[in-house]
Each structure stands twice: as structure tokens, then as C-alpha cells.
Amino acid sequence: MAPSQIEARSRGRTAPTNTSSPQYFHKVVDCQWACPTHTPVPEYIRLIAQGRYAAAFMLNWESNVFPAILGRVCDRPCEPACRRGRVEEKPVAICRLKRVAADYKGEIDAFMPEIPKEKNGKRIALIGAGPASLTVARDLMPLGYSCVLFEKDPRGGGLMRTNIPSFRLPVGVLDEEVERILGFGVEARFGHEIKSLDVLLKTEGFDAVFIGTGAPKGKDLDIPGRREAAANIHIGIDWLTSVAFEHVHTVGKRVVVIGGGNTAMDCCRTSLRLGGMQVTVTVRSPRRVMKASPWEIEDAEHEGIPILDNHAPKEFLVEKGRLKGVRFQKMKEVGLDKSGRPRLEPSGEEVVLECDDVLMAIGQENSFPWIERNIGLEFNEWDMPKVDEVTMMSTRPGVFFGGDAAWGPENIIWAVAHGHQAAISIDHFCHGKRLTERPQPGANLISQKMGIHEWSYKNDYAPLKRVAMPHADKAQALRNLKVEVELGYDDKLAFKEAERCLNCDVQTVFSAPLCIECDACMDICPVDCINFLNNEAEPLLREKLRVPAHNKTQDIYVSDNLKTGRIMAKDEDVCLHCGLCAERCPTGAWDMQKFMYVEAQAAQACLTHHNAYLR
Amino acid sequence: MSYIPKPSAHHPALPRNTLGLTRRDYEGTMSTLCAGCGHDSITAALIESCFELDIPAHRIAKVSGIGCSSKAPTYFLNRSHGFNSVHGRMPSITTGAAIANRDLVYIGVSGDGDTASIGLGQFCHAVRRRLNMTYIVMNNGCYGLTKGQFSATNDKASPSKKGEANPFDAIDLCQLAIQLGAGFVARSFSGDKAQLIPLIKAALSYNGFAFLDVISPCVTFNNHPTSTKSYDYVRAHNQAVDSLDFIEEKEEITASYAEGTSLAVEMHDGSRLLLHKLDEQHDPRDADAALMAIRTNAAKGAVATGLLHINETQQDMHDILATDARPLNAVPMSELCPGSRALEAINARLR
């Protein structure tokens, strides 16, 4: 700790911000910070604006492995985090821009890492061919590992293939990204289900095993009539899998979907395409706490599917041994529980929805019947394997977990993040290095000044509204399961949307010794985030700013003491990164510097485009 | 100057005044002055003051002469009336405007060249006429637009950036204004908004001639270590004689203050000034004492700032001339132009 920091703490004041830690400026890049794989979002958005789609794609591929897939179906933790959403209504359409990079990337094979012909002699088993295992394979293959992939289904992709319908993720897009990794020389054994981990460990002599089998068991509902009507009641994810592998081609005319998550949205929209005429979604809880992403609910409603909330299923009605309908108890809200979720009570009113088929999408869970409980791999009280949160290793050395298999259902992008960490651990494990010694991220800051008031990024704020996504003709889309609904941005729409990015990675960097306290930056700042005042303890300091800083998730950038004894305090919350503070500064105390942050991975060969920024 | 306009986006939690406006609504176009210019800080203080006083921008007229300072009205209140006039002639233009429309709030912006050199005579008569206006001198001691030659307010002890000595004594505009009978005289510093904003608010609320001399460092030509108008020098030698709380009519006085060291002054519009004396000798109601405070501080090398002098009972030009209570645009045409018969009657009276 610097002397000035120690002094500030001892007087109950706010310590000067330590900008030498890469995590300070990393956090300012809200999208990158929120992304589990820390994809450098503003940088690739600028590349898209410049039409450099291949470079934008590669920055994505290096971070998140599946840009074309994620550009369509990512859970998008970056978008609610986007600063633009705090400045005006809607965040930048980051996910859709990612898709643009994938759609227009052109030829990229030359950028792929070289896979050594000579292997390092280490053999890794990957169980389950979903995003987590594929990420591990991608990270380890360039290091010379031999990876063997076991998958019970006939094709790779895991839930990305079985649970996401092709009108959201075309099979061709999925195949391309999966094949790219398998093409590195992964030994894929499709249709090979591992029935015993113990046998696998004993017979094949793998140096490490990675388990990425997801959360494959859909939850069931044990209410009257379930058994009698079994022929027409389906578990959502199993049914979607059957549709994906073309075992199921039709569904009844009237379909009731039970559940309010993304699987429910996929089930109802798939039903419409398989002949459902009257498809209804029912949710037990109130609409506002539905688990599905807002855009997926929007898409389902756009296709004319009603969503009935506060409907708790009570009984499957059976007539002559056949499903006739579902009886629901309507619920009403009576305040909130301790966790802030609505507390529900039966309202007394009952509703019957007649139907031919029921799809149940009420959640999914892990299932490890194939892992013996006596092989030194411990399970916790919820029958989940004990997995280290940093190293991804179970209590049995050499056995790693990732994706939904590790801690229950999450999403694709988290599975990728787990895969990267597991690959680092596996590499350390195979070479006798300590797993807890994690490689550090790379970071640097480079001034963007090109001349007087000229910057190497476009600092002119564009007051544009979010660009709407063009959709396929509805009548046509509903007739064919394989017609992709979202058409993607073309280059012009992409450019317009890219202009909305605030370039949050171009940081406002302040140098206290140069400041003459002329107030020019404070006066010009369009969002009143810069302040010159006496130092105080942080809660008081936050209140005393020109606009009090009530968003505590955002940091206050505090300078060293200035000549008058005051400090500069900048609320990072809604900074537009317009650079006017630096333009109006007579002494260069403010500078706009691009921050590049590179999360460490097992293989440097997978970070070529990232590392180019660190040189 | 910046090539981009100031972004239209503002902080979502920006406070609004009783008119429903934010301070951003009181801005003008982007400043083309040098980065770090004190004038931009005064501009920001004017914006903040008008916002806090809930003045609708279209009830304000901003008038200026020539110079860096006189460019500044472009950078605030872009919904106000404005007149960028002739060098040193801002007081005449303002007089004419004030005669025609007594209901507007007049902000005259001038510089040390515009006021203390070419416009000195105009300035003196504006004071003498008790024009109801706020006259702000953005005082940097040099001619910034023409490469920084000494102006008439540059201290004798303050050499130029290149080291040339200044042969002449400075004109102290505050002393001059007090001697000429200005009812409100204050001095402040562009780098001290905590002092400047209440002073501007008080000046705008004052009925009569309110004069504000604001030391405003010229970062390009007069901010060197030997200048007496640099940020560092003024900070080191700033001797505030009082501190001012401006209390709007609708507000309660909540702060407690000790008798003898504090002073409450009621303004024409019902707002009050709460003055905390930092210098016990100082009584701003006494013009002689105000002159003394300025001179004794100056003799010590200090700059006396704050509300130096106030005469809360002074009459303004309209009171003195007993003009019509209505602005001319509210006087019916039949009264404004009573016709040839009335003219003949006047002429007959003069024969």
C-alpha cells in the first residue's frame, strides 16, 4: 500500500484509487466484467464498426469459443450490465453484434492455432460433448494433449443441439463451431455413453478426466393423472431432444406448456411449428418473476402464444385413458418472502385447460447414476459432486467438472468459462504444478491521443435508439422448424448499433500532480461525474458529489491529494467516455487511455489476437 | 476547442428546478476558449446560478462587448436574448434594452480590456445611472485574444509570460465602482465556485447596479508563476472578507449564526443574504470601510474577495427617472405613439 493510501485510511477518508490493479479499470468495462469469459466487447464492437469482421470474430472466438452460437442464444449477462442502459433506456445489442462478426467473418482458418503433430503424451477424457468439454478440448489441443470425447448422442454440441431449437440456432451454425474444435484432432466417440466412471478410470489410463455432462434430467410433476396420461405428457428437454434428432415430428393441436423458463419458451414455439394450433404457456408465479429472458418471452408472445401466470397445475384430467386437459389452481400474491420473491397462496379459483399434449419445463437437475460413490469422489448433501470453485477439481485428484455438471444449470457462456479454468487446472495437474497457482491476466493502458482533440476512437456520443432486429416473415417461420426467426443485422444496421457503444474500455486516466484545479473538466462533463472536493469516508463522499453516487455497484475514482488539499472524485457510473474532460484539460492531467484486459488461458496459441494488444 | 458537441445525454438523476429544468437546459454551445480558461468556470457558475434561481431563460438578456470574455455569453443560456455588441459599448446597449424592457434580467459580460480600457467611460456612466443589471468582468489582466498584452487591470508587480515588466499601476474596478456609487460590489475568483455562485445569485437578485469583478486566470498568457492573476497566486493570496449564503424567499433560514459576526440583508425581491464576516472590521454596508478593506489587503499583497459593498436601499434607474412600470412592449400603441396632435401639443409647449 502506498503511503498516501495508508494515511487516507487512518483518517477515515477514501483511499486513492489503485489503478495499477488491472481489476479497477476492468470493472469500468461493465460488459467485459459481467461476461464470464471476459470477452473484450468494446474492442470487437469497434472492429465491427470498421468492417473488420474476421478480427472481431477472432477476439470473440479466443474468449468465448462459440461466437456464432452465442451471438444468437447467449444469456447475455453483458447487456443488463451495459452502461448505455443506465444512460438511456436500452443497452447496446452486444449479442446481436457478435452474430454480425460471425455472419460476415469470411475465411478464418488461417487464424486457428496450430495443433502440434507431436503429442505431449497426456491423454484427457472429456465426458459429454457440450460447450464445457469442447472448450477444454480447444484449450488443450494446441498444447499437444490427446483428447478423447465421449458422447451418448450421435452428434456433438450437448444442450446446444438437443435443447435449443433450430429456428433459434440453425444446425449449420452449430455444426460449424463444433466441427472446428473436433477438427483439431479430438477423438470423438459419439453414441458412447459412459456407464461407470470407475471402469473408465481403471481401464483407459487417462491422465485426467473432465466431466461436462450438463444437467440432463428434466424435473417431473407428481400430481394425479400423471401416470394415466403418461403417453401425452412429456418432459420438455427430452421432447426437444427428440425433436432435434427427428424422432418426433408432430404434436397435438392443443398444447399446454408448464413452466416459465427459456425451455418453456422453446417448447411452446417448437409446438407451434409441429402442428400446435392452440399453444398456451402456464406459469405458477407472477409474470414479472418468470425465469425466461425477456427477449425470449417477447418472441413467444410475438408468435401469438398466451402466457398465463399464477397458474399452479393440480391435476391431469384423463378420459378413457387419454389426456383431456389440466386443472390449475389459480394463485394470488400475498407479499414477499425473505429472499424478495413473491409469496403465493391458492386463490380458490380453478381453471381447466383442455389439451392433447402437455410439455413440462419446470426445471432440470443433475444426475450422476454412473459415478460410483466409493471412488474418492465426494458428493454433498444435495447429491452434487464437491467441486473446487477455482480449480474445478473434484475431491478425487484428476477428475474435473464444468458447465451445468459442476453446480447445476447455468448457461453456455458460464460453461465456456468453466472449461477455460478446468483446462488450466488440467494442464497444471498433468505437469505437477500447483492448481491454486493461477496464471495472471494481462492488461495494459495506452493513450489514444492522436493530436489536439483527436482520438483514435470515435468519442462523439451518438444519441441513437437500439436498432430493432429484423425477423423472418411470421407465417413462413411458423411453418418450418428450420427457418431462423432472427435474420441478423446487415452491415449498415450493425454500424448504426455499433455507434451506440460508449467505448468504456477507453478509460479516463487522471494524474493528480498535473492538475491545476481549474474546474474545466468538471464544468464540461455532460453527466456530472467529475468532482473536486474535500476527501471524506466513502459513504459521505458519495453523498457530497454533484450528483450523489447512489449506484454502489459502481466505483468512485479518487485521486491523490491535489495542491489545495482537495481530491478529484469521479463517479464511474454513467461516464460516457466522451473524452471532453481530457479535451478541456489545459495540462493533460486527464488522458483517454485504452485498457486491454486479457484473461489467462491454458494455451497462449488460443490468444493470438488478444496478445497482439499487449505488445 | 473541441470538435464534437457536448453530448446531449445527461445524468439520469440530475436535479430539476421548479420549472422542471436541469442545469443542462441552461447551457449554451461548446466553448471555443482555451482549455482551462477561467471564463468557462464563470460560465458554469452563471448556468448553475440561473438554474438554482429558477429563472426562465427567455426572461434573461445577456449583453457583451468584445474580447474573450465577451464571447462567453454564447456558452451559456442559449435560450436567452443576447447582444454581442461593440467593444466597450455593452453598457450603452444594456441601457437601451433596459429602458425598453425593464422586466428582463440583464447580465452584462465584459472583460478587463472591454471595461477598464476602451469602455471605461461607458462603465462609469452605467454605474452612475444605477442601471438594473449584473455587470460581470471576467478579469484576467491581459488581452488574450491578441496574444496576451498587459491590460489596465494587470498588477504592476506582475510581469508578462516572457518576463517583461509592467510599467503602470492597475485600475481597481471594485474601488472605482464603489466610488461611483454602485450598490452591490463583489470580487471573486473563477476557481472558487463555492464563493462565486452565491455572489452571482445575490447580484442577479439585487435591484440596481450589481458589479462582480471575477479574477479569471488566462491559462495561455497569464498563468505563469510570476503572474498575480494565476490559479496558484490567487489561491495563495485570496483573502475572503466574508462568506455569503444566498437564501431564496421560499426558503427558511436554518443556519444559526452569531450576532456581531453575521449579518442578514433583505433584498428587494424578498430573498435574503446571510453574510458571515471573516474580517471583523469589515462592514459591507459602509462604502468607506469597503474601500479600506480592499486597500489594506492590497497593501499586504492579498486580494480581498467576497461581498465587498452592499447598499440595499439604493434606487435603480427606473426609480430615479420614474419611468412607466410597464415594459414598452406592454404599453398600447396608442400610448406609445399618441399621434401628431400630441406631438403638436408638445412642440407648442416648447415654443
Q: 3-state class of B53 per DSSP?
A: coil
In angstroms, the Cα distances linking A240 to A85, A159, A499, A522, B37 are 34, 10, 38, 56, 67
Mean pLDDT in residue range A67-77? 96
Over the stretch A278-298, which tens digit does the pLDDT of each residue have? 999 999 999 999 999 999 999
- Cα A227–Cα A231–Cα A235 angle in degrees, nearest 5: 80
Q: 3-state class of A348 per DSSP?
A: strand
Over the stretch B255-314, which tens digit does the pLDDT of each residue have? 555 555 777 888 777 888 888 877 777 888 999 999 999 999 999 989 999 999 999 889
Least confident of A129-133, B220-224, B280-284: B280-284
Smallest CA–CA distance from A519 into chain B, residue: B41
CB A323 within 8 A of CB A358: yes
Mean pLDDT in residue range A33-53? 97
Q: Which fold has domain B23-229+244-321?
A: Rossmann fold (3.40.50)
C-alpha cell at A391: 480449480
Which residues of chain B neighbour A528 with C-beta distances below 8 Å? 10-11, 14
- Work out the minimum CA distance from B90 to partner chain A, whole angstroms: 26
C-alpha closest to that of A60 among A97, A115, A107: A97
Q: Output the pLDDT for position A89.
A: 85
Over the stretch A312-334, which tens digit does the pLDDT of each residue have? 999 999 999 899 999 999 999 99
Q: Output the pLDDT for position A603.
A: 95
Model confidence at A39: pLDDT above 90: yes
Give the C-alpha separation, B22 to B10, whole Å.
Answer: 9
CB contact under 8 A, B9 and A461: yes
CB-based contact, A550 to chain B, within 8 Å: yes
Smallest CA–CA distance from B48 into chain A, residue: A523
Q: 3-state class of A58 per DSSP?
A: helix
In angstroms, the Cα distances linking B57 to A195, B25, B137 are 79, 9, 21
In angstroms, the Cα distances linking B145 to A248, B34, B140 are 81, 10, 12
Q: Output the pLDDT for position A11.
A: 67
Give the C-alpha separation, A258 to A250, whole Å.
Answer: 19
Q: Output the pLDDT for position B253.
A: 61
DSSP tag of B59: G
CB-based contact, A458 to chain B, within 8 Å: no
List helix spans (H) across B53-140. Answer: 68-71, 90-100, 112-116, 120-128
Q: Output the pLDDT for position B255.
A: 56
- Work out the minimum CA distance from B35 to partner chain A, whole angstroms: 4
Mean pLDDT in residue range B67-72? 96
CB contact under 8 A, A526 and B7: yes
How sure is the predictor about B219, in pLDDT bands with cuts at 50, 70 and 90?
Answer: very high
Which residues of chain B neighbour A519 with C-beta distances below 8 Å? 40-41, 44, 190-191, 193
CB-based contact, A588 to chain B, within 8 Å: no
CB contact under 8 A, A518 and B24: no
Q: Output the pLDDT for position B269.
A: 79
Could you count the other beta carbons within 10 Å of the beta carbon of residue B162? 8
Over the stretch A494-552, which tens digit does the pLDDT of each residue have? 999 999 999 999 999 999 999 999 999 999 999 999 999 999 999 999 999 999 999 99
Give the C-alpha separation, A334 to A316, whole Å.
Answer: 27
Q: What residues contact A67, with CB distance under 8 A and at least 6 apart?
A: A57, A60, A61, A98, A99, A101, A102, A177
**Residues of chain A above pLDDT 90, percent:** 93
**Residues of chain A above pLDDT 70, percent:** 98
Q: In this structure, are strands B303-310 and B184-189 parallel, antiparallel, or unpaired?
A: antiparallel
CB contact under 8 A, A528 and B10: yes
CB-based contact, A564 to chain B, within 8 Å: yes
Give the C-alpha separation, A308 to A285, whole Å.
Answer: 10
- When CB atoms are compared, the residue of B9, B13, B36 closest to A520 is B36
- Work out the minimum CA distance from B188 to partner chain A, whole angstroms: 14
Helix axes A236-244, A262-273, angle to 10 degrees: 50
How sure is the predictor about B167, in pLDDT bands with cuts at 50, 70 and 90?
Answer: very high
HSE of A170, CA atoms in CB hemisphere, 13 A: 15
Over the stretch B80-107, which tens digit does the pLDDT of each residue have? 999 999 999 999 999 999 999 999 999 9
- Work out the minimum CA distance from B73 to partner chain A, whole angstroms: 15
Strands (E), A414-564: 442-447, 449-451, 454-455, 506-510, 530-533, 556-558
CB-based contact, A490 to chain B, within 8 Å: no
For the four alpha carbons of B25, B26, B29 and B34, in that order, the dihedral sign comes to negative
C-alpha cell at A305: 402464444
Contacts 24+ apart (CB under 8 A), A289-297: A289/A341, A289/A342, A290/A260, A290/A261, A291/A260, A291/A261, A291/A262, A292/A260, A292/A261, A292/A262, A292/A264, A292/A265, A293/A75, A293/A76, A293/A262, A296/A262, A296/A265, A296/A266, A297/A265
- When CB atoms are compared, the residue of A461, A527, A584 closest to B11 is A527
Over the stretch A43-52, which tens digit does the pLDDT of each residue have? 999 999 999 9
Over the stretch A449-490, which tens digit does the pLDDT of each residue have? 999 889 999 999 999 999 999 999 998 999 899 999 999 999
CB contact under 8 A, A583 and B35: yes
Smallest CA–CA distance from B46 into chain A, residue: A523
Q: Output the pLDDT for position A571.
A: 97
- When CB atoms are compared, the residue of B11, B13, B44 closest to A523 is B44
Over the stretch B232-245, which tens digit does the pLDDT of each residue have? 999 999 999 888 88
Model confidence at A7: pLDDT above 80: no
CB contact under 8 A, B41 and A523: yes
Q: Output the pLDDT for position A397.
A: 96
How sure is the predictor about A143, in pLDDT bands with cuts at 50, 70 and 90?
Answer: very high
Q: Output the pLDDT for position A1.
A: 59
- Work out the minimum CA distance from B82 to partner chain A, whole angstroms: 22
Model confidence at A104: pLDDT above 90: yes
Q: In this structure, are strands A442-447 and A590-598 parallel, antiparallel, or unpaired?
A: antiparallel
C-alpha cell at A613: 494488444
Q: Output the pLDDT for position B271.
A: 83
Over the stretch B18-52, which tens digit does the pLDDT of each residue have? 999 999 999 999 999 999 999 999 999 999 999 99
Report ipTM for this prediction.
Answer: 0.91
